């Protein structure tokens, strides 16, 4: 049975807010026939004051179920090293887990001179260590694959934003290396692993000034949307996207080259 049939299960992290990349990713994959385990951690959204409501995870799950998906909602702080394996295990209750999308993050602005040790460690725990532990738990439950067979998909979201956001950017750089290494080290499990850099997308963190200069710096003439990112991930999760592997893909309307 192909990956596009309903019997496949994917984990999506960072699905705590309706206005998020994670929400668009979940809904898009549900529409493509994936059952889903959705991870969220609302204390992070509340700490940063992000636009959200307490019922957002349930609302996103309900929309996915309307598209025919079975959904497990799994609250958990990915800064806790026990949570990644617990999340993969929860997803396994739906069936064989063959997809992993990591759209969670820790992102609190600070610079070389203002970053605290606690903040540095928290960023690396969530953005880098949890990425490794999720991939590890995901790969461990996959069987070896025949040569050339795509047995599982991994996509992680990254960012180039590092100046005055130092621990975020540095830990995202580590994420990039972890995921591209997985494409090689886990080839015997048929895993295809890629990183997507979506560029600036207003998920509730932009003010008018930021929206103005980022739009002006995008040759495509508009800001990216969560759906733009979801469309690329959906392609990478499809049979048609199985030849793309070990890449860091920029999906940002040309923002990085302007």
| Average pLDDT taken over every residue of the chain | 93
62-93: b or e for each residue (b if 16 or more CB lie within 10 Å)?
ebbeebebbbbbbebebbeeebbbebbebbbe
Answer yes or no: is pLDDT of 1 > 70.
no
Token digits of residue 130: 């949890």
Answer yes or no: is pLDDT of 2 > 60.
no
DSSP annotation string for 171-193: HHHHHHHHHHHHHHHTGGGTEEE
pLDDT tens readout for residues 126-136: 999 999 999 99
Q: What is the pTM of this model?
A: 0.94
Rounded Cα–Cα distance for residues 52 and 20 (Å): 9
DSSP state, residue 40: E
pLDDT at position 27 is 98
Q: Which residue has the tokens 């385990």?
A: 37
pLDDT tens readout for residues 177-229: 999 999 999 999 999 999 999 988 887 777 888 888 888 888 988 888 999 99
Domains in the chain (CATH in brackets) are: 9-257 (3.40.50.720)
Residues in the chain, total: 258
Q: Which of 32-41, 71-80, 93-102, 219-228 has the lowest mean pLDDT?
A: 219-228
């Amino acid at each position: 049975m192909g990956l596009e049939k309903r019997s496949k299960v994917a984990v999506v992290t960072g699905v705590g807010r309706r206005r998020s990349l994670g929400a668009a990713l979940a809904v898009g994959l549900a529409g493509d026939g994936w059952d889903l385990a959705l991870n969220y951690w609302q204390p992070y959204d509340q700490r940063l004051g992000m636009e959200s409501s307490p019922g957002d995870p349930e609302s996103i799950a309900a929309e996915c179920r309307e598209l025919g998906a079975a959904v497990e909602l799994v609250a958990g702080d990915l800064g806790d090293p026990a949570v990644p394996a617990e999340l993969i295990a929860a997803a396994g209750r739906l069936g064989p887990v063959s997809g992993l999308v990591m759209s969670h993050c820790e992102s609190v602005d600070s610079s070389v001179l203002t970053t605290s040790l606690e903040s540095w460690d928290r960023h690396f725990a969530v953005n880098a260590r949890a990425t490794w532990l999720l991939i590890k738990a995901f790969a461990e439950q996959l069987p070896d694959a025949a040569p050339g067979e795509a047995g599982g998909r991994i996509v992680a979201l990254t960012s180039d934003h590092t100046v005055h956001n130092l621990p975020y950017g540095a830990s995202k750089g580590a994420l990039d290396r972890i995921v591209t290494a997985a494409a090689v080290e886990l080839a015997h499990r048929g895993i295809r692993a890629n990183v997507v850099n979506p560029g600036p997308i207003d998920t509730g963190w932009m003010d008018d000034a930021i929206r103005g200069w980022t739009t002006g710096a995008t040759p495509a003439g508009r800001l990216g949307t969560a759906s733009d990112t979801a469309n690329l991930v959906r392609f990478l999760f499809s049979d048609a996207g199985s030849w793309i592997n070990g890449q860091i893909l920029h999906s940002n309307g040309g923002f990085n080259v302007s």
